[in-house]
Structure 1
Amino acid sequence: MKPARVTAEAARRRLLAGGEIALLDVREAAAFGDGHPLFAIPCPYGRLELSAVALVPRRDCPLLLVDDDDGVAERAARRLAACGYTDITLVIGGVPAWKATGYGLFAGVNVPSKTLGELLEHAHHPRTIDAPTLAQWQREGRAHLFFDARPPAEYAKMRIGGARCVPNGELAHRLATVATDDETPIVITCAGRTRGIVGALGLRALGVRNPVYALENGTQGWALAGLPLDRGARADPLPTLDAAATAASRARAARLIDASGLTRTDVAGASALLAEPGRTPFLFDLRNVQERADRPAPGAVPVLAGQLIQATDQYVGVRNARLVLMDDTGLRAGLAGLFLRALGYEVHVLALDDEPGAGVPVVPAPQLMPPAPPPMVDPRVAWARAGDGFPLFDLRSSSEWEERRLVCARWSMRVDLPGPLPPGTSRVLLQGEAGVVAGAARDLAEIGITAEWLAADLDTCAAAGWPVEAMRRPLGRDKARDRVWFVHDRHDGNAEASRRYLAWETGLIAQLDAEERATFGTIPIDALA
């Protein structure tokens, strides 16, 4: 069955109508980062089935597919139909038609979340502190608490000396442990603007009496002020909560949820919400690793509350979807829900501590069937076959290939397969992640080429006798289309890229038209405190 087709005008009307719908941008990451519709979800063809099943876990959810008017959306429609999706529509003319119609394109990633941050900054004007002033505080030994709102992996890449890694959500939850008085100033930083703004406003909404500041422009603002960044720092363990701190988190959660009108649910209610036909279910587990291990919730997606707010389009592919947010005391879930509701989602908060013996919600298995990877081949056998002329396609990320690769391997993106091959080629070897290889193998099977999967890592292949090239071989943006090149080196000392990035963030609101602006909700921050 051929997918339906709609114009860009009709697609946009459906997208803004208020029902559940997913606009999947099936172009690769570089093109997405250069410009995409506001609520498009990155679902590159190279990772199509992997991304789609995670981002749209309902087979009859309406899908809109957009490409560069190059036929990739048609290919994606076939692959998604094979997975079990039943409501697929193509946007005629793709992104070029969207632009030609007069609709805006937004560069960068996580645009809805970052736009919400800028709207909230304009509406509520959180206190900010610039880098020179904070540096002076540090030199003078002025009392303050300094927290980095990002996850440990980002914190390790670069941090400001003296900042402690306590991500957004976790900081609010553990505040009674780390802030023992109501007077010491609290400073929150991130890499740019959004998480600092959200962190500061979140504490304000909770009625925290300490002066709370967002570091202006985060680590990028620090570097632009000529101040040094630490690299390779290891995050300390999160501060533990005693009974009094846990009670404080629970009390703050109750006040926030009641004042904001967020919907509470229990375990049984959450299971019913997740199973309701015609709705796309998401259950997010906002607890930390140990908390999840103590009371596992199979099928729930583990995520830090701050990251779910900051990068919602990496976790939810469906506009106006139903989200069940789960933690122990309800504070991390309630705080995340406050911001996610402003992004248009239906939010329900589940505090597991309210039902200590009730088990966990049941997440229905998605009725979707992504392709299975082809048969695996032993690296010794694969090396012998490569010597006999079998092509080996390396489908790992371009960044991985640049650092190390197998001799004879050809780096390729799935969308470019099979590329130039000798006449009569009927078998190939594929290297890479299972889901990526599975999709590529399905594509090749359509044109009569059988694939085998070299699943072993490079070290295992080397031990089996396959030579490994370790000399770095950079790829230009014309080839490495699997990564976002939009001001990509802003964290690597390129000051001009940082300036352009920060100008992009602060300019997001001006890009919105009236209909787009109306899709963002408001948060009465001070009325909640």
Structure 2
Amino acid sequence: MRSIDAATLRGWITDRRELAILDAREEGEYATGHLFWAVPCPLSRMEIRARALLPSLATRIVCVDDGRELAVRLAGWLESLGADDVSVLAGGTPAWQAAGYPLFAGVNLPSRAFAAWVARHDATEVIAAPDLARWLETRHDLVVLDSRSPEEFRRRAIPTAVNVPGGELVYRIADLVPDPDTVVVVTAAAHTRAILGAESLRRAGVPNRVLALRDGLMGWDLAGFALAQGSEARFPPGRPASAALALARAKAFAEQSGVGVIGPLDLARFEEDPGRSCYVLDVRDPAEFAAGHRPGSLSAPGGQLVRATDAWIAVHNARIALIDDDGVRARMAAAWLRRMGHRDVFVVEGGLDEATVRGPGAIGVPELQARVDSIDADALAACGDATVVDLARSVDFREGHIPGALWGLRTRLDLLQDRLMMARLVVLTSPDGMLARLAVPEAQGLTGAPVRVLEGGTAAWSKAALKLERDHGTPSDVACIDVWLSPCDRNAGVAAAMQEFLEQERGLERAAAQDGTVSFGLPVPG
């Protein structure tokens, strides 16, 4: 592997060739300060994460960290897979900053900065929380649409809101809001999805007055208004009656944005091209994806894809092919990706016409084929002397884990060594069992006891109707280095964290401009 300096990497970012910048730290560490275009690829999940982020190992890759040799480990592993153009940023983020280049806190920076640009560029109309609260009491020609994921919506939402994730808004708006005199307010956790959701409707030519809730649920919460929990108000499933109108609207926006249209044969040629990376992303609702999707595609619900593009796309200047069933959601997401600055974005017409497969979709991870000893949920429940280590994300562990389980981060299992050395049996689990299987060698190196994996992971424990334990205090906020804790995930200082986050949102477009490599708007072809 090569070692490159900050100036070299800075030049690579703007040379229009394919480039992936992978940060080897845990997401919580990454969020304290990172390069604008870097994408988290933590060592604890690298087998899964890197394969999802890198459609082609032939692309140019730079691994970064904060100077602790994590990047060298990630680069070495990538080279062992066959990647032959891998470099490491010498000195990591401290060297980048010392060279005069900025670092950024938080996650999903490209999408968030883009939303701030859109709000200014398109003069998005917004409404403050007190005004919306008054409208909800006095107006009947009003609907509030929450553009977040169903999981987020169920946890907390504005009373009366209906959950319509951002990628579904244009597809379903004419069915949900048939009266053009009805005012539509789009909300989200904070800024990004509310702005992009409102502008999606406006760009599609929806005749209603459309506003975004200023500062989203954070602004609502800070203003002292109550939030509903457990709401299931959601759009009706299935193809909307107004799908033809939605397609006409989406086509107009996509054509204005320079989105390409290809067929399955074109996509096959893209996937077989050894000189280019090609992401194949299915932007439908996850339930639709699970019911049948193109082999090799990944589920990337359209609104979430635009809101957190770096969760799926790490290779700059790669080809991006979007699939849905009738072209509406793919066109809307593609148009926004083009305006975000991605050059080669395509909608695949007929992408689901050939053979499809059922299930959640999976990345090929050969390491999961290694033989491990396992135990099923019933046997574990009957076992009275097992030390259970859960490798779930810390925030998910807080929400529910096997009673008595320890939380463990794969690359920090040595912190549990005293407990593991005393164990008679160690059982590893994770939500679906995948990460637990990958962590077996690390656990075996820390104990003399047998190490087994819970078959089917914690999901199998729940399916067996066995009890889960909730503890929002464990692990502590300080220990949650594996994730970026949103303000609402914190155990203390929630209001202050919300204020800090919203202040960062307001200054994000200006801060991104100072990086000198960020340019939004339709890219120049070629």
Q: Secondary structure at the match of 1:255?
A: helix
Per-residue deviation at 1:507?
Answer: 0.9
Mark the CA change 1:163 to 1:76 in structure 2 (over 3 Å): closer, same or farther: same
Q: Which amino acid letter does the alignment assign opposite residue 412 of structure 1?
A: G
CA distance change for structure 1 residues 492 and 360 in 2, over 3 Å: closer, same or farther? farther
Structure 2 residue 419 is matched with structure 1 residue 413 = no
Cα 1:239–1:49 shift into 2, 3 Å: closer
What amino acid sits opposite 1:415 in the alignment?
T
Map of 1:334 onto structure 2: 331
Helix, strand or coil at the partner of 1:60: coil
Aligned to 1:500: 500
Aligned-partner Cα distance in 1 for 2:234–2:261: 33
Measure how far apart 1:41 and its partner are. Answer: 0.4
Indicate yes or no: 2:227 matched with 1:229.
yes
1:102-121 map, 5 Å: 102-121=100-119
Question: What SS is found at the alignment partner of 1:495?
Answer: helix
Counterpart-to-counterpart distance in 1, 2:329 and 2:208: 19
Q: Look up the match of 2:303.
A: 306
Letter in 1 for 2:393: S
CA–CA separation in structure 2 for the residues paired with 1:274 and 1:291: 23
Partner of residue 475, structure 1 = 475
State whether residues 56 and 318 of structure 1, in contact with CA within 8 Å, keep that contact through their aligned partners in structure 2: yes
TM-score by length of structure 2 reads 0.85
- The change in CA–CA distance for 1:201 and 1:385 in structure 2 (over 3 A counts) is closer
Cα distance in 2 for partners of 1:109, 1:504 equals 12
Structure-2 separation of matches of 1:12 and 1:95? 13
Q: Which runs of 5+ in 1 are unaligned?
A: 524-529
Question: Aligned equivalents of 1:174 and 1:145: distance in 2?
Answer: 14
Q: Is the counterpart of residue 395 in structure 1 residue 394 in structure 2? A: no
Alignment TM-score, normalising by the size of structure 1 = 0.85
Q: Given the superposition, is the C-alpha separation of residues 462 and 314 from structure 1 closer, same or farther in structure 2, using an over 3 Å criterion?
A: closer
2:173 paired residue number: 175
Q: 1:187 to 1:378 in 2, by over 3 A?
A: closer
Distance 2:201 2:147 in 1: 12
**Which residue of structure 1 lines up, in the alignment, with residue 509 of structure 2?**
509
Residues 328-386 of structure 1 deviation map (CA, whole Å, 9 limit, x = unaligned): 3322111111111233322001233xx8855579xxx9897445455123379999999
Flag the 1:290–1:7 CA change in 2: closer, same or farther, 3 A.
closer
Aligned counterparts of 1:321 and 1:297: Cα–Cα separation in 2: 20
**2:14–2:517 contact (8 Å) kept in structure 1:** no
Relative to structure 2, which stretch is displaced further, 222-231 or 365-374?
A: 365-374
Distance 1:87 1:127 in 2: 46
253 and 342 in structure 1: CA distance in 2 versus 1, 3 angstrom threshold: closer
CA distance in structure 2 between the partners assigned to 1:167 and 1:225 by the alignment:
24
Secondary structure in 2 aligned to 1:34?
A: coil
CA distance in 2, matches of 1:508, 1:321: 25
Taking a change above 3 Å as real, the CA distance of residues 381 and 220 of structure 1, as seen in their structure-2 partners, is closer
* Aligned match of 1:263: 260
User: Which residue number corresponds to residue 281 of structure 1?
Assistant: 278
Secondary structure in 2 aligned to 1:348?
strand
Matches within 5 A, 1:136-285: 136-238=134-236, 240-241=238-239, 243=241, 245-285=242-282
Q: Deviation digits for residues 387-427 of structure 1, max 9, x if unmatched?
A: 6xx987543333455577678865432223445858xx8x9
Instruction: Find the aligned partners of 2:326 and 2:354 in 1 and give their Cα distance.
Output: 15
Write the letter of the residue equivalent to 1:504: Q
Cα distance, 1:295–1:210 mapped onto 2, change above 3 Å: same
Whole-Å Cα distance in 1 between the matches of residues 31 and 196 of structure 2?
23
Could you say which residue in structure 1 is the equivalent of 2:294?
Answer: 297
Distance of 1:256 and 1:156 partners within structure 2: 31
Alpha-carbon distance, 1:509 to partner: 1.6
- Displacement, 1:32? 1.2
Deviations 1:160-184 (A, max 9, x none): 1111111112110112212223332
Larger RCO of the pair (alpha carbons < 8 Å, separation 6+): 1
Residue identity opposite 2:453 in structure 1: L
Q: Give the aligned residue type for 2:428.
A: Q
* Cα 1:513/1:216, change in 2 over 3 Å: closer
What SS does the aligned partner of 1:169 have?
A: helix
Residue in 2 that maps onto 1:527: none
Counterpart-to-counterpart distance in 2, 1:470 and 1:131: 32
User: Which residue pairs with 2:12 in the alignment?
Assistant: 14
- Change in 2 beyond 3 A, CA 1:421/1:199: closer
Look up the match of 1:315. 312
Q: How does 1:3-152 map to 2 (within 5 A)?
A: 3-152=1-150
Alpha carbons 1:85, 1:368 under 8 Å: kept: no
Cα deviation, residue 273, structure 1: 2.0
Q: What letter is aligned with 1:510?
A: R
Is the Cα–Cα contact under 8 Å of residues 487 and 495 in structure 2 kept in the other structure? Answer: no
- How many residue pairs get aligned? The number is 514
Q: Distance in 2 between matches of 1:50 and 1:276?
A: 23
> Could you say which residue in structure 1 is the equivalent of 2:452?
453
**2-structure distance, mates of 1:463, 1:349:** 38
CA contact (8 A) 2:56 2:274 kept: no
SS of 1:396's equivalent? Answer: coil
Task: Give, as a single letter, the amino acid of the residue that structure 1 aligns with 2:454.
Answer: A
Residues 294 and 247 (structure 1 numbering): CA distance in 2 closer, same or farther, change over 3 Å?
farther
Aligned-residue offset at 1:188: 0.7
Q: 1:431 and 1:475 mapped to 2: Cα distance?
A: 17
Q: Which moved more, 1:401-410 or 1:27-36?
A: 401-410
Contact 2:176 2:235 in 1 (8 A): no
Counterparts in 2 of 1:178 and 1:9: CA distance versus 1, 3 Å = same
- Tell whether the 8 Å contact from 2:101 to 2:515 is kept in structure 1 after alignment: no
Tell me what 2:341 maps to. Answer: 344
In 2: Cα distance, 1:462 partner to 1:247 partner: 41
* Matches of 1:356 and 1:383, distance apart in 2: 43
Of residues 234-243 and 170-179 in structure 1, the stretch that sits farther from structure 2 once superposed is: 234-243
